Amino acid sequence: MNTPFDLVGSVSPGRDSWRFKVRVVRLWSVSAFLYLDQVNSIEMVLIDEKGAKIHATIRRQLLYLFASKVAEGNVYKMSYFSVMPESGLYRTTTHPYKLMFEMKTKVQISESSKIDLYGLSPTSIDEICGYGPDHDFLVDVVALITGVTEEREYVRDGKVCKMIVLELSDKSGKCGCTLFGAYANQLKDLLAKNDVGLPTVVVQFAKIKMFAGKVSVQNVMNATKIHVNPSIPEVVSFKQAMVVDGAETSVSIAHIGHPIKPSFEEEFLSKYPKTSIGHLLELANDGIYIVSAVVVGLVDGQDWWYPACKCHKSLTPDSGSFFCKKCDKHVFKMVPRFRVKLMVDDGTAECVFVVFDGDMNILVGKHCQELVAGAKV
């Protein structure tokens, strides 16, 4: 007699003999904290035939056992997991627990037409605006692309990244959607295949953020998934509802925003006055100035890096973890960031410049976490 499968919604601590039949609706790798070229874990979202979803993790120590056995989109029979509370800034499901692969976990390929292919849980734009940026869960958005900006470039952590901003619309309202890096390129490729009219986009596993003072959504690196005009029931229903609501879908995507601005460096050099260090030292008021000078040394006895939160603010060690005053919570993962004091001379005077993460990365050509990792070898 076949043993019935457990339902994902029934998962709770206290046992490990769980037995599921699930589809992997999303799977991605997470890099090691100090070694960005190494995989630290594989993360995934599983869904059962009832539509319940749960997050699951393969730890680095078990990658050799399971990395080649699990692929996105496939259905598997899986058994034996440990159960942990789900936590973190951005949770992929509303389930209070997550599954951890163990040495005795069993994975067997299977099939089932009853398990949804995408596992979407669409959230309306009105709901997203109501949640606000303090919402700890990732959301799925189905919307029309009614506007798009020019592709922009910006510097983050010393790297030049691409960015594109969309205007998303559904019958409840509008909001922005910011896509970074490879996601901006992916969207351009998908839109190139759109024949006519306003495309319907699905942004799955997106985080809610503030952008330009308004609530919006943006991608989570590696976790977010994007579809344009997919032939799935949720999109068909959405399009029908938009037609009934009177939305015009035969027009083209509007260009939004201003023309592309000069680069940050060009704008900065033309916007602020040039001066000398000697003159800076005489100024009574704060301001932004451009100085041409030579770095003559480092200030001795100063820490060159500090532990930081994802929000980039410094962390304070507390009770075996770290506390972030800006986020007002304990965090268990910190990011080492530069804070270097340089002695600078331009011939008129000497002074100390404090150089932070992004600018220091440009100067030395390496991320702070790489140098910290190297220092620990």
| Best CA proximity match to 125, nearest among 196, 213, 190, 214 | 214
Q: Does domain 125-255 have CATH number 2.40.50.140?
A: yes
| Class of the domain covering 264-376 | mainly beta
**Can you count the helices (H) and strands (E) in the chain?**
8, 20
Length of the chain: 377
CA 233 centroid distance within chain: 27
pLDDT of the residue at 158 = 63
pLDDT band at 377 (very low <50, low <70, confident <90, very high): very low
Tell me the one-letter amino acid at 320: G
CATH match for 8-110 among 2.40.50.100, 2.40.50.140, 3.50.50.60, 3.30.70.1050: 2.40.50.140
Query: Which helix or strand (DSSP H or E) is residue 297 part of?
Result: strand 294-298
DSSP letter (8 states) at residue 50: T
**Do 125-255 and 8-110 fall under one CATH topology?**
yes
The pLDDT tens digits of the residues spanning 297-329 come to 888 877 888 888 878 788 888 877 788 888 888
pLDDT band at 67 (very low <50, low <70, confident <90, very high): very high
The mean pLDDT of 19-47, rounded to a whole number, is: 91
What is the dihedral sign for C-alpha 246, 247, 252, 257? positive
pLDDT band at 248 (very low <50, low <70, confident <90, very high): low
Beta carbons of 294 and 345 less than 8 angstroms apart: yes
pLDDT band at 120 (very low <50, low <70, confident <90, very high): very high
Q: Where are the domains of the chain?
A: 8-110, 125-255, 264-376
pLDDT of the residue at 84 = 95
Q: pTM for this one?
A: 0.68
pLDDT of the residue at 31 = 87
The burial class, CB within 10 Å (0-12 / 13-18 / 19+), for 316 is: exposed
pLDDT band at 74 (very low <50, low <70, confident <90, very high): very high
The burial class, CB within 10 Å (0-12 / 13-18 / 19+), for 110 is: middle
